A and B are shown apart, each in its own frame.
Chain A
Amino acid sequence: MTLSTSGLTLRYGDFTVLDDVSMEMSLAGLHGMIGPNGAGKSTFFAVLSGFIRQNAGRIAFGGTALEHLSPDERARTGFGRTFQIPREFKHLSVRDNLKVGARRQPGESLRHLFCAPAAVRAAEREIAARVDATLAFLKLERVADALAGGLSGGQKKLLELGRILMSEPKFILLDEPYAGVNPVLIEELSQRIRELNAQGIGFLIIEHNLEALNRLVDDLYVLDRGRLIAHGRPDEVLAEESVRAAYIGGPA
C-alpha cells in the first residue's frame, strides 16, 4: 500500500509552485519532507488533501485515485492532515474539538437525532471514552474542558493531532508539528508519533526542526522551488551538496 504522486504540477500564472513532483511512499512508514521557506511544501500538502486543485498530475492513495475527490471525500478514504497554523475550533472545548473528529456519528444526522436517540446516546458514550483515551495519550487532560482558542501554540498542535486521530486515519500529513512546541514536548510528541506508527498509521511530516525530524523519520524528501531534488535516508540526504545548497544557500 502506497501514497504516490506522478507529474504533480501547480502553476499560478507564470509561477510554477509545484513542478512535476513524482514520489511513492509506503503507507506504513514515517516520512519527512524538508525544504527552504517557499519551496512548496505546504502547497504540496494542500494539493494532496484536495484544498488546492493541481494543473496536472495524479495522486493515488492505497489504490484509490484522489485527484478528482473533494477534501472531505479524500479525508474519508483515511487520509488525514493537520495545518501549519493550527485550525482549532476556538469556541469549543478541547473535549468537543476531539469529539467533532469522530467519524460516522449518528448524532450528526437529523433523522437519528430525533428518531433514534438511544443510538445517539450509545455512540456518544463510545466517543466520550475514545476522547478520554486520546486526551490521556496526548497528555491534554488538564485542559480538557478549556476553550480551544485559549491553548498555547504547542497544545493546539497536539489538539489537532488528537482530532485527526479521532477520525481513525490510515495516513497523516503533519505540517510543522514541532513549531512553537517546547523542547521537552517535542521529544514526547515524537514518541507519540512512533507509537502511532507502530499501530499502523503512516506519516509524512513537514518540519524545519531537522534534528528532531531526522531522529524520527525513515526517509526524507527534499523540495526546492517546487521540485523534488532529493530523497533517501536522512543522513545521506542531508550530506548531499544540492540539498545543503538549497537549504543553507551555499554553492551548488
Chain B
Amino acid sequence: MLDYALTLAVVTLIYVLLAFALDLQYGFTGMINFGVAGFFGAGAYTSALLTMRAGWPAPFAFAAAMVVCGAIAWPLGKIALRLRDDYLAIVTLGFSEIIRLVLVQEQWLTNGVQGIPGVPRLWPTWTTAHSELFLLGMLCVANVAVVLFLRHLTHSPYGRLIQAIRDDEVAVKALGKNPARFKTQVLVIGGAITGLAGAFFAHYMTYIVPDQFVPLITFYVWMAVIMGGVARLSGSVAGAALLVLFLEGSRFLRGVLPWVSDDAMASVQIGAVGLVLILFMRWRPEGLFGRAREGSR
C-alpha cells in the first residue's frame, strides 16, 4: 500500500512538473506545444544514457537533460515561430514523433524498442525503498524550485510581456517589442523543465522504452493544464493531481464493468478520461483554479 502511495506521489509530481512547463508555454504565453512527450523522452534518455554509458553522477546528468531539452527547443522555436501561430502545434507534434522514432531506430545508442533496463536509482547503494523516498524528496525540491522560479518569472515585467504576447502579438510588435525572441526563450525554459521531469521519470522507472513517450502523454499533460486552469501555477498542481486520480481511478472501472474484455478496457479507460475532459469544457472551461476570462466565450 505504501509502495502504491509512493508511486502515485512520484507520478503526480512528475506530471506537475510537466504541467508547469506547458502552462508557462500555453497558459502564460499562448504557444501550443504538442511535443511535450518528445521533450520528456529526450530528457529521460539523456539522463539515463549519461549515467549508464558515460558514468556521469546523477546531478550532472539531470542538468544535462535540462540543457539538452532546452537546446533542442531553441531551433524548434526559431523555425516554427517564423510561421503562423498554429504551425507551432504541428511542428512540435512532428518533433515529438521524430524523437520517438529516433529512440526506436538508433539501436546502437538507445537499444531500440527493447529500451534501456537498469537505469540506476538516485542513490543506488541504498535499498530500493529508501532510494525511492530519496527520489520523492528530490522531486519535491525540484517542484518547489520550479514554482519559485516560475512565480518570480510570471510576476515580473517579463511575465507581463509574455501574457501580452498571448493576448495580442500584433499589438506587442506595434510597441517595438519582438515576440519571437520571448517565445523562443519560453519554449527553451519549458523544454528544460520538461527534460528535468524526464530525468526523474527515467531514474524512478529504472527501465525506459520509446513507447512510454507516445503523444498520449502530451494529451494527458494538456488535460492536467486545462482541468487545473491555465495561467495559474496552483491550477497545474490541482490539474495534475486530478489527472492521476482519474487515470488511477479509471482502473477500478474493471469492477463496475466485469463483462468488458481486458483489451476493450484500455479503450474504455481512455474514453472515460476523455469524457471527464469534455464535461470540464462544458461546465467549467476555465478549469478548477482559472479565472473566468473576459471574452473567452
Q: Using a CB–CB distance below 8 Å, which chain A residues touch chain B?
A: 49, 51, 70-73, 75-76, 80-81, 83, 87-92, 96-97, 99-101, 103, 105-110, 113-114, 120, 123-124, 127, 147, 149-150, 160, 163-164, 167
Q: Is the CB of B160 within 8 A of A87?
A: no
Cross-chain contact B156 with A89 (CB below 8 angstroms): no
B176 lies within 8 A of A89 (CB): no
How many chain B residues sit at the interface, stated as a range, is: 20 to 34
Query: A99 contacts which chain B residues (CB < 8 A)?
Result: 157, 160
Among B64-72, B93-101, B163-171, B234-242, the one that faces the other chain is B163-171
* 5 A–B contacts from the bound complex (CB under 8 Å): A51-B170, A72-B177, A100-B172, A107-B156, A120-B156
B173 touches A72 (CB 8 A): yes
Besides the known contacts A100-B172, A164-B175, 12 further A-B residue pairs in the complex with CB atoms under 8 A apart? A72-B174, A75-B173, A75-B174, A81-B174, A90-B294, A91-B163, A92-B160, A113-B153, A114-B152, A124-B157, A149-B295, A167-B176
The reply to whether the CB of B161 lies closer than 8 angstroms to some CB of chain A is yes
Q: Chain B's nearest CB lies how many Å from the CB of A172?
A: 11
A89 and B174 within 8 A (CB): no
- 4 tightest CB-CB pairs across the interface, nearest first? A107-B157, A149-B294, A75-B176, A87-B171
Q: Which of B158, B163, B231, B293 interacts with A108 by CB under 8 Å?
A: B158
Interface status of B206 (Cβ within 8 A of chain A): no
B293 lies within 8 A of A91 (CB): yes
Taken together as a complex, chains A and B put the C-alpha atoms of A123 and B156 apart, in Å, by 12
Q: How far is the CA of A108 from the CA of B231 in the complex (A)?
A: 18
Closest CB of chain B to A197's CB: distance in Å?
A: 20
Task: Please report the C-alpha to C-alpha distance between residue A49 and residue B171 in the assembled complex, in whole angstroms.
Answer: 11
Q: How far is the CA of A49 from the CA of B178 in the complex (A)?
A: 14
A-B contact count (CB 8 A): 104
Find chain B residues with CB under 8 A from A150 CB. 294
The docked-state distance in angstroms from the alpha carbon of A83 to that of B163 is: 19
Closest CB of chain A to B182's CB: distance in Å?
Answer: 8
In the assembled complex, the Cα of A250 lies from the Cα of B87 at a distance in Å of 48
B245 to chain A minimum Cβ distance, whole angstroms, is 29
B residues contacting A by CB (< 8 A) are 152-153, 156-158, 160-161, 163-164, 166-168, 170-179, 182, 185, 231, 293-295
Q: Are A90 and B167 touching (Cβ within 8 A)?
A: yes
Chain B's closest residue to A151 (CB) is: B294
Query: With a CB–CB cut-off of 8 A, which chain A residues contact B157?
Result: 99, 105-108, 113, 120, 123-124, 127
Rounded to whole angstroms, the CA-CA distance of A110 and B174 in the bound complex is: 22
In the assembled complex, the Cα of A224 lies from the Cα of B293 at a distance in Å of 41
B25 → chain A closest CB, angstroms: 15
Known A-B contacts A99-B157, A100-B160, A120-B157; the reply to A71 vs B171 at CB < 8 A is: no
Q: Judging by beta carbons under 8 Å apart, are A49 and B294 in contact? A: no
* Minimal beta-carbon separation of A75 from chain B (angstroms): 4
Taken together as a complex, chains A and B put the C-alpha atoms of A101 and B161 apart, in Å, by 9
**Residues of A contacting B166 in the complex (Cβ-Cβ under 8 angstroms):** 91
Given contacts A108-B158, A113-B158, contact A91 B176 (CB under 8 A): no
Contact partners of A73 in chain B: CB under 8 A: 176
Chain B residue nearest to A79 (CB atoms) is B176
Chain B residues whose C-beta falls within 8 Å of the C-beta of A83 in the assembled complex: 170-171, 174
Task: Tell me the minimal C-beta distance from A177 to chain B in angstroms.
Answer: 15
Contacts of A49 in B (CB 8 A): 174
Instruction: Provide the residues of chain A in CB contact with B156, threshold 8 Å.
Output: 107, 113, 120
- A110 lies within 8 A of B171 (CB): no
Expressed in whole angstroms, the minimum distance between the Cβ of A87 and any Cβ of chain B is 4
Chain B residues within 8 Å of A80, by CB: 174-175
Closest partner residue, chain B, to A49 (CB atom): B174
User: In the complex the two chains form, what is the Cα distance from A96 to B167 in whole Å?
Assistant: 12
Shortest Cβ distance from residue A96 to the other chain B in the assembled complex, whole angstroms: 5
With a CB–CB cut-off of 8 A, which chain B residues contact A91?
163, 166-167, 231, 293-294
When chains A and B are docked, how far (Å) is the Cα of A97 from the Cα of B164? 8
Q: Nearest A residue to B182 by beta-carbon distance?
A: A108
A188 to B86: give the CA distance in the assembly, Å: 41
| Chain A residue with Cβ nearest B291 | A91
B189, closest chain A residue (CB) = A110
Residues A101 and B294 in contact, CB atoms below 8 Å apart: no
A130 to chain B, nearest CB (A): 13
B176 touches A108 (CB 8 A): no
A124 to B156, CA, bound (A): 9
Is the pair A87, B295 in contact by a Cβ cutoff of 8 Å?
A: no
Contacts of B295 in A (CB 8 A): 90, 149
Once the chains bind, are B294 and A92 in contact (CB under 8 Å)? no
Residues of B within 8 A of A87 (CB): 168, 170-171, 174
Is A110 a contact partner of B158 (Cβ separation < 8 A)?
Answer: yes
Q: Give the contacting residue for A92; candidates B158, B163, B177, B185; CB below 8 A.
A: B163
Known contacts: A108-B158, A120-B157. The answer to whether A71 contacts B173 by CB under 8 A is yes
Whole-angstrom distance from the CB of A112 to the nearest CB of chain B? 9
